[in-house]
Amino acid sequence: MFKNLREEIDSIIARDPAARSRLEVVLAYPGLHALALHRVAHAAWTRGFKLPARIVSNFGRWVSGADIHPAATIGRRVFIDHATGVVIGETAEIGDDVTLYQNVTLGGVAPSINSSAQVNRKRHPTIGDGVIIGSGAQILGPITIGEGSRVGANAVVVKDVPPGTTMVGVAARPLPPRECRKEFVAYGTPTGDLPDPVARALDHLTEEVARLTARLTELEARAGVAAAGANGSGDEVPDTAGPEADGRRASA
C-alpha cells in the first residue's frame, strides 16, 4: 500500500509542474486523497462490506470532489488533477499511468434495471494504460480507450478508440496520425494550431467551390467573347432553313 502511495506521489510530481514537494502533494492534492480513500472503499467492497464501502466513497467525494464508485477498478500511478467533478462509474476500469482532469465522466448509458445479471454487466468504459483525458470530457458506455490515447477537453466519446489516437470534438473524432502526440500532453489537447477535422473539411469544400466558381466565370467570359467576335465579323449567318424558307420568301 505504501509502495503504491509513493509511486502515485512521484507520478504526480512528474506530471504536475505546480507540485513543489512530496509533503505538499500528500497534504494538499485532492486527487491523491480521492484515490487513497477509493482504495480503502474498493478493498471493503471486494470483501463484501458494501455499505461501509459506499460510506467511505461518499466521504471521499466530500473531501476531494471526486465521485468514484467503490467497485471501480483503478490501476497504479493514476493522477486525478484537481479532482473536482470527476465521476467514475461502478464497472469502470482504469489502467496504469492514466491522467484524468477535472469534470471527467466515465459513465454508463444503460437504463435503470432490476435484474441482478443486468446490473452486474459491463456498463462503463475501460481506459488503457497511459491515457490522458482532458477536463470536461465524457467517456460513455462500455467502450475501450486504447493504450496511449488522448481525449481532448470537452470531447464526448461513445465509440472505441484505437491505441495512440487523439480524439477531439462532439461527438469525438480522431485527429490525423501525424498530429497525434506520444509524449505527455496536458489536458489531452495538443497546444498550438489544433484543426477541427469537420472545420477543415468545410474549409476544403469552401475552397473547392470558390475555385469552381472562378473557373465557371472564366469559361462564361470566353464564351461571351467568342460569340461577340462571331456576330461582329461580318460573316453571313448560314441559312439552315432549306428550300421551304426560300419558297416562303419568294411568295412574300
- pTM of this prediction? 0.70
What CATH number is attached to the domain comprising 46?
A: 1.10.3130.10
Number of domains forming the structure of the chain:
3
Q: Does 124 fall in a domain? A: yes
pLDDT at residue number 194: 53
Question: Are 168 and 136 a contacting pair, CB within 8 Å?
Answer: no
User: Do 190 and 123 reside in the same domain of the chain?
Assistant: yes
Q: What's the confidence (pLDDT) of residue 163? A: 93
Residues 134 and 214 in one domain: no
Domain end marker among 37, 70, 103: 70
- Asked whether residue 152 falls in the same domain as residue 225, the answer is no
Do both 119 and 45 map to the same domain?
no
Indicate which CATH number applies to the domain containing 157. 2.160.10.10
Task: Round to whole Å and give the CA distance between 156 and 105.
Answer: 10
Confidence of residue 115 (pLDDT cuts 50, 70, 90): low
Domain holding 40, by residue range, is: 1-70
- Residue carrying C-alpha cell 500511478: 77
Residue 76, domain member (yes or no): no
Instruction: Write b or e for each residue in 5-41: b if 16 or more Cβ atoms lie within 10 A of its Cβ, otherwise e.
Output: eeebbebbbebbeeeeeeeebeeebbbbbbbbbbbbb
What mean pLDDT value characterizes the chain? 83
